[in-house]
A = this chain, B = another copy of it.
């Protein structure tokens, strides 16, 4: 067969049903709410065949409740996740909550569908106790090994390990910034001219919005856009790298909602090609209608906001 289907030499891994590790916080909250109110065991409602409750499936090594509770540093508070996701989930595939951002993982491409962040001036200001240089890129062991990217996938690929949730957006603790170095939050990005330059310019711009707006919500992710070839037909084409076939996105998006002190909302939406971009290209030239990104990504952004209620979209009155 000309196409690449990898055969597995390891022993078969035993799977163990729906474990819902990513949303243990949600589960815990729902269950304990029920526990507090009546005496029936809520567990029996959650294990029926035919009734999936969580947008994640089993990992080879399920994380047990006790293990989680032993590591309080990585338990995101329910409030923080609720704040980050205040305006809706763009999609619900394989949700993974970190302390200061939320991620939806695409097991087919070995990178995220999207990541969601909430920025304020507090989150992005300089903090002497946080040192990005101490961070290491790490495989995300909450992802099943079949679908997990590894550092070796990036080696000699020619691509940077580019952050989706930017490291510089999470300066409240060393743990927060370290969590942006999980490879689930990383995509292969062109280094010079993109990750280290124009994409970084866009990230800095979004951070600076916190000087003007009280709250900045930002959703970031990869795109795999079709392109017309000489036969007149449209094709999606992207490279995959390493033994895990990590997808190299053709483009990346950022959709931002800024909230003023008096609750007014403005939206900005950017798509940048994953290629060398001249430093003098203005960021405004990458603005696209948010619906275009939604159609291309298969996602719905900020769907709890009625778009007619937005004060501005891409700098223009709606």
Contact = CB atoms under 8 A, between A and B. Distances in A.
Q: Specify how many copies of this chain sit in the oligomer.
A: 2
Nearest to A304: B17
Interface stretch (A89-97, A163-171, A195-203, A204-212): A89-97
Interface in A201-240: 224-228, 233-240
A233 B248 CA distance: 12
Contacts of A33: 44-45
B300 A15 contact: yes
A26 B52 contact: yes
B81 A50 contact: yes
Contact of A50 (B15, B26, B224): B26
A133 interface: no
Contacts of A8: 289, 291-292, 295
Interface string A14-27: 11111000010010
A147 interface: yes
Given A33-B45, A239-B234, A291 B226 contact: no
Contacts of A250: 3
Given A8-B289, A14-B308, A294-B146, A2 B88 contact: no
A5 B225 contact: yes
Interface string A97-128: 00000000011110000000000000000000
Nearest to A31: B45
A298 interface: yes
Contacts of A291: 7-8, 12, 146
A34 B33 CA distance: 12
Contacts of A109: 298
A251 B1 CA distance: 11
B45 A34 contact: yes
Interface stretch (A53-61, A134-142, A179-187): A53-61
B227 A57 contact: no
Interface residues of A, number: 98
A16 B87 CA distance: 11
A299 interface: yes
A84 interface: yes
Interface string A58-102: 100000000000000000001001111110111111110000000
A147 B45 CA distance: 32
A12 B291 CA distance: 8
17 contacts: A3-B227, A5-B295, A6-B292, A14-B308, A18-B88, A26-B50, A30-B51, A49-B82, A49-B86, A50-B83, A55-B93, A57-B88, A57-B303, A92-B92, A106-B298, A234-B241, A235-B239
Given A15-B300, A53-B54, 9 more contacts: A6-B295, A12-B291, A17-B303, A18-B89, A52-B95, A92-B94, A147-B298, A236-B236, A236-B238
